[in-house]
């Protein structure tokens, strides 16, 4: 568990500087409010002495009442204004900090999200930022208000009657010791509570994300139990805090009550002896009742500041994370001549874990406008090879070149804008089909405008347009989270449209036609490859097809076969078939499988008419 420190609040200094005037006027209004509140017992003191003397008139009493009403008006106005300025500023800081955290999360690299759970990141973006807001609003108010009121009240009661005030403050050092002791205990236990909240959030996120799998295996009971366990852990972590404050606040109240008892004993005797007026005693009681809030407020302040420090440390931990993959300070200049190579791999080797190579000494040159197929067994390194091209993972320097420039020297945004990638997992957003496709454009995806033709063209190339009539709202059909309402093939084709709409220089289809039938596959590949071929005035656009289907790879100019991270075969589809290697074996097996399906469909018995199944002619 990390060491708690109030130094975490240094990261908020720029925000305090930005809203310094609001905080200044907020604390001015707080001072005015406290001054008005501490003036009220003086009105009571004068009124009690006036009435107890027996020499008063109603005009004097009404004048005192009117003065109290005026002071209460100032008190109410000041209380509204300090809340407007201080709470308003804390809300603004919370919103800006949340936007900053979200923007920073988008800059972090692929490996960060492999190490950190989404539920934990959500907890830091919501629950932790809420605790930070409370620390910089009510936490600061409790500190300033409590310190100022306690000091002012002590000064007033000593000036008014030092003989009574001195014994009354005897319990105060004990309260200070309690605050210091409980403050450290609160911080550590609150950190534990936040960590268990993150675990619970992650359990919820994982459950709802995989709800279809859960239902298909009838495992609802197991996830209910898992959530109940994490929920119990969160409850227990919070109960430890409740137990601490269950002891802390009664002790504070008991010690503050002792001061009242002391004043009653000592002050009452001084009134009887004529050393103190009844009004002074009543005012002293009022001030002691007011002193309870600073003492209690100190407990609130310790609670909120410690919680805020813990939560801010968790937020700063994310904000302090540096992306492992980022643009160089001085990006290089890519070669743009149409005759240059689109991509080149030079002795590319890559490992996720040291000593275990996923890619091993790959050398490959891909000309612009070429259609390249990649084939290999599961785990042969196909997807990793694709990730090195776009720097989703970082290849060694001098091993991967795009348009003649090392990918590590590219500006990251410019490099990735060259590519249109349709990954194996066709992730779609909970939005309309139209907007999911338009995410592939650099422009704002709201509204079609001049981009309607691009949308229709991309949909036609992916063949998703032929399913349009099955969607109840056409292009505006909302497909649900992760494309829940679409079939696997429809999701893949929407994702392909999204990759095509921006006209990428390099298109990568990473096994993204695995869920479509052979006819649709043929239509999609024929159409998009024809669209991307070289034309007068425009160089051809490069296409990489990663697939287990030899039928899809048959459209490629060149095919690369990977085995255990190494290139085992390389050449045209016809050349690889003639060599009799892995590609040829896969082609033969898939051809046999296709022929077997055709025979089954041809020889399948026709369905008998139920009317033919009579006793005399059932065929039994």
Give, in degrees to the nearest 5, the angle at Cα 300 between 299 and 303: 85
State both tokens at 28: 């001015």
| Sequence-ordered strand ranges (E) for 254-324 | none
Measured CA to CA, the distance from residue 613 to residue 591 in angstroms comes to 39
471 SS3 class:
coil
pLDDT at 506: 92
CA atoms within 13 Å, Cβ hemisphere of 70 = 7
State both tokens at 591: 């051809």
Is residue 281 within 8 Å of 151, Cβ to Cβ?
no
Q: Three-state SS string across 397-464, please?
A: CCCEEECCEEHHHCCHHHHHHCEEEECCCCCCCCCEHHHHHHCCCCCCCCCCHHHHHHHHHHHHHCCH
- % of the chain beyond a pLDDT of 70: 88
pLDDT one-digit tens code per residue, 561-586: 999 899 999 999 999 999 989 999 98
Hey, what domains does the chain have and what are their CATH numbers? Answer: 11-319 (1.20.1560.10), 341-571 (3.40.50.300)
Instruction: Annotate 231-266 with b (16+ C-beta within 10 A) or e (fewer).
Output: eebbeebbeebeebeeebeeebeebbeebbebbbeb
pLDDT at 299: 65
Neighbours of 21 (CB within 10 A): 10
Measured CA to CA, the distance from residue 153 to residue 289 in angstroms comes to 10
Q: Which is more confident, 119 or 296?
A: 119
Which residues are bridge partners to 420 per DSSP? 507
Q: What helix, strand, coil percent values describe the chain, rounded to 5?
A: 65, 10, 25
Is residue 162 within 8 Å of 280, Cβ to Cβ?
no
pLDDT one-digit tens code per residue, 154-200: 888 888 888 787 887 777 777 767 766 776 676 677 778 877 887 88
Is residue 365 within 8 Å of 539, Cβ to Cβ?
no
Average pLDDT of 372-382?
Answer: 91
Banded model confidence at residue 532, pLDDT cuts 50, 70, 90: confident
| Nearest C-alpha neighbor of 362 from the set 343, 341, 390 | 343
Q: Which of 31-35, 78-82, 422-426, 520-524 has the lowest mean pLDDT?
A: 422-426
CA atoms within 13 Å, Cβ hemisphere of 496 = 32
Banded model confidence at residue 4, pLDDT cuts 50, 70, 90: very low
Is residue 263 within 8 Å of 172, Cβ to Cβ?
no
Phi-psi region of 112 (alpha: psi -120 to 50; beta: other; left: phi over 0): alpha
Measured CA to CA, the distance from residue 148 to residue 598 in angstroms comes to 89
Expressed in angstroms, the distance from the first to the final Cα of the chain is 77
Measured CA to CA, the distance from residue 467 to residue 463 in angstroms comes to 8
């Amino acid at each position: 568990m990390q060491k708690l420190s109030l130094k975490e609040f240094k990261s908020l200094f720029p925000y305090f500087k930005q809203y310094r005037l609001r905080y200044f006027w907020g604390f001015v209004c707080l001072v005015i409010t406290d001054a008005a509140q501490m003036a009220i017992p003086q009105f009571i003191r004068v009124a009690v002495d006036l009435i107890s003397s027996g020499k008063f008139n109603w005009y004097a009493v009404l004048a005192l009442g009117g003065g109290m009403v005026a002071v209460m008006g100032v008190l109410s106005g000041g209380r509204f204004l300090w809340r407007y300025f201080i709470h308003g500023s804390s809300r603004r800081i919370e919103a800006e900090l949340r936007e900053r955290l979200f923007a920073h999360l988008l800059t972090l690299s692929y490996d960060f999200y492999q190490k950190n759970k989404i539920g934990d990141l959500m907890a830091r973006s919501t629950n932790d930022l809420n605790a930070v807001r409370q620390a910089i609003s009510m936490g600061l108010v409790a500190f300033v208000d409590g310190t100022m009121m306690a000091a002012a009240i002590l000064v007033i009661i000593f000036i008014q009657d030092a003989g009574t005030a001195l014994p009354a403050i005897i319990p105060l050092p004990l309260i200070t010791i309690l605050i210091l002791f409980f403050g450290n205990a609160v911080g550590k236990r609150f950190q534990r509570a936040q960590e268990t909240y993150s675990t619970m959030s992650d359990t919820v996120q994982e459950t709802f994300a995989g709800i279809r799998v859960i239902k298909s295996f009838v495992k609802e009971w197991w996830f209910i139990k898992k959530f109940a366990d994490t929920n119990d852990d969160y409850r227990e972590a919070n109960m430890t805090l409740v137990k601490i404050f269950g002891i802390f606040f009664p002790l504070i109240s008991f010690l503050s009550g002792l001061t009242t008892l002391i004043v009653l004993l000592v002050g009452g005797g001084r009134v009887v002896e004529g050393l103190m007026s009844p009004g002074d005693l009543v005012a002293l009681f009022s001030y002691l009742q007011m002193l309870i809030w600073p003492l209690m407020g100190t407990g609130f302040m310790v609670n909120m500041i410690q919680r805020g420090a813990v939560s801010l440390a968790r937020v700063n931990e994310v904000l302090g994370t540096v992306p492992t993959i980022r643009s160089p300070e001085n990006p290089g200049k890519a070669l743009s001549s149409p005759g240059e190579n689109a991509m080149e791999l030079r002795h590319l080797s890559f490992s996720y874990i040291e000593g275990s190579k996923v890619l091993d000494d790959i050398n490959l040159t891909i000309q612009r406008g070429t259609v390249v197929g990649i084939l290999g067994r599961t785990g042969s390194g196909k997807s990793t090879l694709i990730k090195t091209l776009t720097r989703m993972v970082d290849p060694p320097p001098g091993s991967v070149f795009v348009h003649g420039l090392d990918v590590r020297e590219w500006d990251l945004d410019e490099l990735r804008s060259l590519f249109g990638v349709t990954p194996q997992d066709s992730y779609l957003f909970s939005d309309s089909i139209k907007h999911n496709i338009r995410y592939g454009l650099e422009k704002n995806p709201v509204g079609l405008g001049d981009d309607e033709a691009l949308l229709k063209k991309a949909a036609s190339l992916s063949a998703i347009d032929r399913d349009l009539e099955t969607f109840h709202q056409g292009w505006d059909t909302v497909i649900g989270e992760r494309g829940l309402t679409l079939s696997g093939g429809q999701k893949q084709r929407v994702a392909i449209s999204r990759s095509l709409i921006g006209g990428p220089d390099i298109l990568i289809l990473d096994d993204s036609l695995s869920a479509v039938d052979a006819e649709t596959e043929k239509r999609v590949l024929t159409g998009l490859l024809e669209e991307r071929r070289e034309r007068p005035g425009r160089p051809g656009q490069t296409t990489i097809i990663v697939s287990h289907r030899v039928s899809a790879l048959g459209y490629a100019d060149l095919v690369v076969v990977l085995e255990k991270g190494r290139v085992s075969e390389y050449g045209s589809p016809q050349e690889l078939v003639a060599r009799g290697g892995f590609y040829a074996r896969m082609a033969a097996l898939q051809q046999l499988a296709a022929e077997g399906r055709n025979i089954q469909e041809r020889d399948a018995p026709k369905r008998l008419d139920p009317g033919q199944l009579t006793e005399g002619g059932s065929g039994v």
